Amino acid sequence: MALSAERRTALYAAAIAAAAWLVAAMLSFTALGGQFDNNVYDFLFRAAPPRPASSPAALVVFDERTFQRYGGIRRLRANLSRVLERIAGDKPAAVAVDVTLADPGDAEEDARLAASFARTPGLVLACEMMPDGSGWQDPIEPFRRHAAALGHVSTLAGPYDEVNRRITLERVAGRERRWALSLEALRVALGAAGILASPSDVAVGARVIPSRWDEGRPLRVRYSERGIPVISAADLLSGRQAPSMAGKVVFVGVTAISAAPDRLFTPLSRGLPVAGVAIHAQAFQTMCAGAFLADAPLSLALLAALLAAVLIVGALSLLMRWQGWALAAGVLLAAHALPWLCFRHDVVLPASASVGAAWLAMLGGGAFRYFFVRRSLQASEAATRRYQQAFHFVAHEMRTPLTAIQGSSELMSRYNLPEAKRRELTGMINAESRRLAHMITTFLDVEKLSAGQMELRLSELDLAHLVETCCRRAAPLAEKKRIVVANRVPGRLRFRADAELLEYAVYNLLTNAVKYSPAETEVVIGAEADNGGVRLWVTDQGIGMDESEVKQLFQKFYRTKRAEQSGETGTGIGLSIVRQIIELHEGSIHVRSAPGKGSTFTVLLPAR
Ligand code: ADP
């Protein structure tokens, strides 16, 4: 079944859009797509920093300066107890200590530290998972005794890279569950009795933190470069003035490169590692501010990708002027802006699907527009141009008989002409008006044939008789060029066809053969029975055509260069009518030709 051009275009466009969407959707599930989403996430993070506000947290760090001045890791416990005493003096809401205290150290130092812990309000100590996941490494009993809670200090890197965009709120080792240090610090600070977990969130007092259990209880950390005051332990040890920690939750940890075991990266760290304690403080601040980032459902990402692909390919294949490109570019831009817009509304939309689909649709749709749609447009524009040329030609041709008619009738009305002259003039008027009528009929026929409005009037006919009539009509033209038309059609070839249309076709082939042949050559017309139908051919020794010309021959208004240079007038529509007539009879027409050697037009008409 033949499809209309519009239907075919729409079908191809739909296929390209679907392919762009499918490939982009699949890519978004690969490491490549995941890494792209990560990069976009980090970029958006840096592009839209949260407004700095006074933080409910403070960070006390054992940095390089502290280690250099007050001794390194070996003096840590002694220094830690002094620092804690200084912090306790400020009356903070809670103190979370991210220091490994799983082994006993110097007995005197440990005793002093335990005493400091005892005086620390809302103490939360860190515990770490055993490397094999069999249980927890907790602080030793003398320390543990004073802790209001223990919180795990695991972070969550990736996927696909080492950047900590999230932490995990809940971890299970052996059979024991531990909440994150930051979450426990929040609970202790709020004075809540416990942490309530549901499959989709975690509640501390009246605070609800969205975090799905089936996804591993992740929490996207809203990192902020400003907000949390960072105090060097060195300043506290030296008794220097430090920002007040009253009412805050203080996170204490080691950041000195030489001692901190966990060097981590965040979207804001730009390649410079940060210490785990800083991440925990940021996670705590995220929960306090309620600045949660929700992950968009997968269906939304896929839907956005589909919409982008359909709109872009649709615009490129249906809107032919600049509007097509403009709309496509607009949608492409929107596909890039969408993750940003979502991010502004605290929703993380993976960009790879929609951005990938938009670019693939742009490429596919652009190529389709260039190679297919534009070409068919050019073809139809060329046909229109040829139609206009032919129209000018016809208008010009009509003027010749009209001038003759006008002149003759004027002569007759103005002068009293002798009878012989009057008869000559009326004969001319008659012949010229017939020529005009014939020309107009031909043009109307073309239109009717192309619009499929012409119906066949089938009747039993004798081919030899039909060809004979055509030869007779073409004889004056042939005689002028002293061309011999050899009629080799055998008698008794009878079959059903539309006599008038078929005569038109045969006459056209015959006159073409004569028109496009040099003087004193021969044109042969022959026929034979073929499977109940007939095969008819017209051979000449004329100017011929090359292969590419033969291909275009049956297009309306097409004329070869050689034909135009031959000086023979023509419109280039005869053959297009011939082909339509033959096809109406369910037959076919073929051409064999060589430039300068001649052509053979063969028509096959099946039995009806
Ligand atoms: P027209 O003869 O009015 O130009 P046609 O549709 O009958 O229009 O033919 C289209 C073109 O095909 C011609 O202009 C000519 O270039 C080419 N052509 C047709 N018949 C022949 C032939 N027998 N030999 C060479 N060229 C031909």
Higher-confidence residue of 475 and 259: namely 475
- Ligand 1 geometric centre to CA of 559 (Å): 6
CA distance 169 to 217: 6
Q: Which atom of ligand 1 is nearest to the CA of 571?
A: 3
**Is the domain of 338 the same as that of 401?**
no
Mean pLDDT score of the chain:
89
Residue that terminates a domain, selected from 267, 290, 313? 290
**Is the domain of 518 the same as that of 583?**
yes
- Ligand 1 geometric centre to CA of 307 (Å): 50
Out of 4-13, 145-154, 500-509, 547-556, which region has the weakest mean confidence (pLDDT)? 4-13
Supply the CATH number for residue 396's domain: 1.10.287.130
**Is the domain of 82 the same as that of 136?**
yes
Nearest to 357 by CA among 109, 36, 606, 20: 20
Is pLDDT above 80 for 448? Answer: no
pLDDT of residue 268: 85
Higher-confidence residue of 219 and 476: namely 219
For residue 345, give both structure tokens.
């509304």
Residue that terminates a domain, selected from 427, 450, 473? 450
Residue 221: band (very low, low, confident or very high) from pLDDT cuts 50, 70, 90: very high
* Domain that residue 218 falls in: 51-290
β-partners of residue 218 are 168
Give the phi and the psi of residue 295 in degrees, each rounded to 5: -80, 130
**Is the domain of 374 the same as that of 314?**
yes
The DSSP code sequence of 97-121 is: EES---S---HHHHHHHHHHHHHST
Substitution site in 442, 506, 516 for ligand 1 pocket (most atoms within 8 Å of beta carbon): 516
Q: Considering the chain, what percentage of its residues have pLDDT values greater than 70? A: 95
CA distance 590 to 526: 15
Nearest CA to ligand 1 atom 18: 512
Residue 115 CB: number of other CB atoms within 10 A? 15
- Ligand 1 geometric centre to CA of 33 (Å): 59
Sign of the CA dihedral with 93 first, then 99, 102, and 107 last: negative
**Is the domain of 419 the same as that of 471?**
no
- Print burial letters for 66-89: b (CB count within 10 Å at least 16), e (below 16): bbeebebeeebbbbbbbbbebbbe
CA distance 299 to 350: 11
Substitution site in 394, 512, 514, 549 for ligand 1 pocket (most atoms within 8 Å of beta carbon): 512
**Is the domain of 428 the same as that of 546?**
no
β-partners of residue 62 are 254
**Is the domain of 562 the same as that of 488?**
yes
- Ligand 1 geometric centre to CA of 599 (Å): 10
Indicate the helix (H) or strand (E) that contains 439.
helix 419-450
- Ligand 1 geometric centre to CA of 583 (Å): 19
CA distance 92 to 236: 15
Nearest CA to ligand 1 atom 9: 572
**Is the domain of 311 the same as that of 199?**
no
pLDDT of residue 235: 94
The DSSP code sequence of 86-102 is: HHHHT--SEEEEES---
- Ligand 1 geometric centre to CA of 464 (Å): 24
Is pLDDT above 90 for 531? Answer: no
Out of 111-115, 159-163, 235-239, which region has the weakest mean confidence (pLDDT)? 159-163
- Ligand 1 geometric centre to CA of 572 (Å): 6
Residue 477 CB: number of other CB atoms within 10 A? 14
Nearest to 59 by CA among 222, 285, 259: 285
Q: What is the mean pLDDT of residues 100-123?
A: 93
Residue 442: band (very low, low, confident or very high) from pLDDT cuts 50, 70, 90: low
The DSSP code sequence of 258-320 is: TT-S-EEB-TTTTT--EEHHHHHHHHHHHHHHT-PPEEPPHHHHHHHHHHHHHHHHHHHHH--
pLDDT of residue 84: 95
Residue that terminates a domain, selected from 275, 290, 305? 290
Which residues does a 6 A CB cutoff place in the pocket of ligand 1?
Answer: 508, 512-513, 516, 540, 542-545, 553, 558-560, 563, 570-575, 599
Number of domain units in the chain: 4
- Ligand 1 geometric centre to CA of 527 (Å): 21
Q: Which residue has the tokens 């501390």?
A: 204
Asked if residue 548 lies in contact with residue 595, where contact means CB atoms within 8 angstroms, the answer is no
Substitution site in 559, 592, 603 for ligand 1 pocket (most atoms within 8 Å of beta carbon): 559
Nearest CA to ligand 1 atom 10: 572
Is pLDDT above 50 for 2? Answer: no
Number of H helices, E strands in the chain: 19, 25
**Is the domain of 70 the same as that of 156?**
yes
**Is the domain of 482 the same as that of 600?**
yes
**Is the domain of 162 the same as that of 262?**
yes
CA distance 365 to 374: 12
Nearest to 574 by CA among 513, 489, 498, 490: 513
Q: Is the pTM of this model over 0.75?
A: no
Supply the CATH number for residue 496's domain: 3.30.565.10
- Strands 522-530 and 484-488, bridge-based pairing: parallel
CA 128 vs CA 84, 136, 213, 262: distances in Å: 21, 6, 21, 12
β-partners of residue 447 are none
Q: How confident is the model over 353-406, as pLDDT tens digits?
A: 999 999 999 999 999 888 887 787 787 787 777 677 667 767 776 777 788 888
Does residue 125 sit in helix, strand or coil? strand
Nearest CA to ligand 1 atom 2: 570
Nearest to 98 by CA among 314, 226, 252: 252
Q: Which atom of ligand 1 is nearest to the CA of 572?
A: 8
Asked if residue 86 lies in contact with residue 279, where contact means CB atoms within 8 angstroms, the answer is no
**Is the domain of 208 the same as that of 301?**
no
- Ligand 1 geometric centre to CA of 433 (Å): 26
Secondary structure in 3-state letters for 363-422 = HHHHHHHHHHHHHHHHHHHHHHHHHHHHHHHHHHHHHHHHHHHHHHHHHHHHCCCCHHHH
Give the phi and the psi of residue 218 in degrees, each rounded to 5: -85, 155
